[in-house]
């Protein structure tokens, strides 16, 4: 990858004045609670999925953000609609954890009123090593509860060689940033858990070029959003979004991303991994996850939810030019790019289809010889955050490929699909996880499951 400039450290004036971790701050401090929103003191017990933490009040579970296990916080109950649990928001930290740090994004700090805290950096108040430990806990708990397996997985820092310029504190990694536009034209992120636009003085999770490019003091009346894009090849771009997506027909701007010695062309508004080092990390992780003893280059290998061909290329680069692999993606433009990006492989094919429908048609139409090639296959799948789901799992189990390499951005979705696959004759061999979203609760995992003969 092209090496970006080192992240620019904004001055204290640009980043916002540094303040204590708790306590009122005048006009920007916690607002007075409404009469029907009680304020309570909570002892924070553990982390939960979704970037919130678990406490109890009067025997009921309370989910509260902006905290750390072991802390005591003053919180406002904001949602009492459920019998089993309530939701709250932290107003003040009464007893701080030793893992609490000054928030990496001043505008997201707990010392601001909850409705004025910038969203998108919900773990930024936690030391980076504790963040990874908490994410590991969430992943292990999900696999145990929803997948029925005990697996000792630890979330890893990515190889710094894959992400030059990314800071050790987990800032300076985002290559794509969307700034929302308020009715008056001001820009900023949404406040956490709302659609209120919060003006900010910096975007510290972004790579340096986007932090410098961000038009944080400008106005864009009538626009929906402002997108900032920093591809690994070429200059960063600022795009004013007037509609939700670009037109499906006609010329559309493209960008080029480099992963190692390989380049990928995609639409500028198309999907690509957002961390500067994510594509290289996942390429190597998928290559490592495929068991070579089970891999047959002549089998009907599949890359499901394949995008522009990143992971199909990873398999091809690992096992050579003779690899047969079909990449399947519902987005027509992405499939067109995948076909071009994989053109050097005679055995590659890019298909535009919904994955569930593609597998249905494959299962219904396959000859005996084709079914044999499918049983010998390796299937890579990188589903959306909701996971592959029962219909896809059922079809995969029916086709019974030798091994599955599952790339997941949601621990619970991964665990549920692992549980379904285990019920259908697949064993979980390994899981690795990477901190591709520092200072947020998100985590990326790669799992290998093999057919139990």
The annotation status of 329 as a binding-site residue, yes or no, is: yes
Other Cβ atoms less than 10 A from the Cβ of 367: the count is 8
Bridge partner residues of 445 (DSSP):
408, 433
Please, which residues bridge with residue 426 across strands?
A: 451
Catalytic residue flag (residue 409) = yes
Residue from 138, 393, 409, 449 carrying the catalytic annotation: 409
SS3 assignment, position 363 = helix
Q: Which of 16, 136, 213, 191 lies closest to 435 in space, CA to CA?
A: 136
Give the separation between CA 199 and CA 116, rounded to whole angstroms: 9
Kind and range of the H or E element at 340? helix 332-341
Residue 190 marked ligand-binding: no
In the block, residue with structure tokens 């005048």: 26
Rounded CA-CA distance 405/446 in Å is 7
- The answer to whether 305 is annotated as binding is yes
Q: Is 129 annotated as a binding residue?
A: no
What is the rounded radius of gyration, in angstroms, for the C-alpha atoms of the chain? 23
Nearest to 151 by CA among 383, 451, 419, 384: 419
Judge whether 433 and 130 are in contact, CB under 8 Å: no
Structure tokens, 211 = 């932090």
CB 190, CB 180: distance < 8 Å: yes
Q: How far apart are CA 404 and CA 304, in angstroms?
A: 11
Catalytic residues: 409
- Binding site for S-adenosyl-L-methionine: residue ranges? 273, 305, 329, 382
- Binding site: residue ranges? 273, 305, 329, 382
């Amino acid at each position: 990858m092209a090496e970006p400039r080192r992240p620019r450290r904004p001055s204290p004036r640009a980043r916002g004045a540094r303040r204590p971790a708790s306590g009122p701050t005048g006009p920007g401090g916690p607002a007075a609670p409404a009469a029907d929103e009680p304020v309570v003191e909570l002892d924070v017990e553990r982390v939960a999925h979704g970037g919130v933490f678990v406490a109890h009040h009067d025997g009921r579970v309370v989910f509260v953000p902006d905290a750390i296990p072991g802390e005591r916080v003053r919180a406002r109950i904001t949602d009492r609609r459920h019998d089993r649990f309530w939701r709250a928001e932290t107003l003040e930290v009464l007893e701080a954890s030793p893992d609490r740090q000054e928030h990496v994004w001043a505008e997201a700090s707990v010392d601001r009123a909850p409705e004025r805290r910038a969203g998108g950096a919900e773990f930024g108040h936690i030391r980076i090593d504790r963040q990874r430990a908490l994410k590991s806990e969430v992943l292990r708990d999900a696999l145990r509860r929803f997948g029925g397996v005990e697996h000792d997985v630890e979330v890893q820092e990515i190889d710094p060689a894959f992400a030059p310029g990314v800071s050790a504190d987990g800032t300076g990694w985002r290559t794509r940033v969307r700034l929302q536009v308020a009715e008056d034209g001001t820009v900023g992120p949404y406040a956490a858990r709302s659609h209120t636009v919060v003006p900010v003085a910096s975007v510290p999770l972004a790579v340096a070029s986007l932090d410098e490019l961000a038009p944080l003091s400008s106005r864009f009346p009538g626009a929906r959003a402002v997108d900032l894009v920093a591809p690994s090849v070429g200059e960063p771009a600022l795009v004013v979004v007037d509609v939700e997506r670009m037109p499906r027909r006609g010329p559309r701007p493209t960008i080029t991303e480099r992963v190692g010695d390989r380049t990928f062309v995609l639409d500028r508004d198309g999907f690509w991994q957002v961390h500067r080092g994510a594509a290289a990390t996942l390429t190597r992780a998928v290559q490592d996850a495929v068991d070579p003893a089970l891999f047959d280059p002549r089998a009907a290998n599949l890359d499901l939810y394949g995008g522009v061909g990143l992971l199909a290329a990873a398999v091809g680069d690992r096992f050579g030019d003779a690899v047969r692999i079909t990449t399947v993606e519902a987005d027509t433009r992405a499939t067109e790019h995948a076909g071009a990006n994989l053109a050097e492989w005679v055995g590659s094919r890019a298909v535009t289809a919904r994955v569930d429908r593609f597998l249905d048609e494959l299962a219904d139409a396959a000859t005996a010889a084709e079914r044999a090639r499918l049983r010998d296959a390796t299937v890579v799948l990188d589903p959306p955050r909701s996971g592959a789901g029962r219909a896809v799992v059922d079809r995969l189990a029916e086709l019974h490929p030798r091994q599955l390499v599952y790339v997941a951005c949601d621990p619970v979705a991964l665990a549920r699909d692992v549980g379904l696959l285990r019920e259908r004759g697949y064993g979980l061999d390994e899981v690795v996880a990477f901190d591709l979203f520092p200072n947020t609760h998100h985590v990326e995992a790669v799992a290998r499951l093999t057919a139990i003969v």
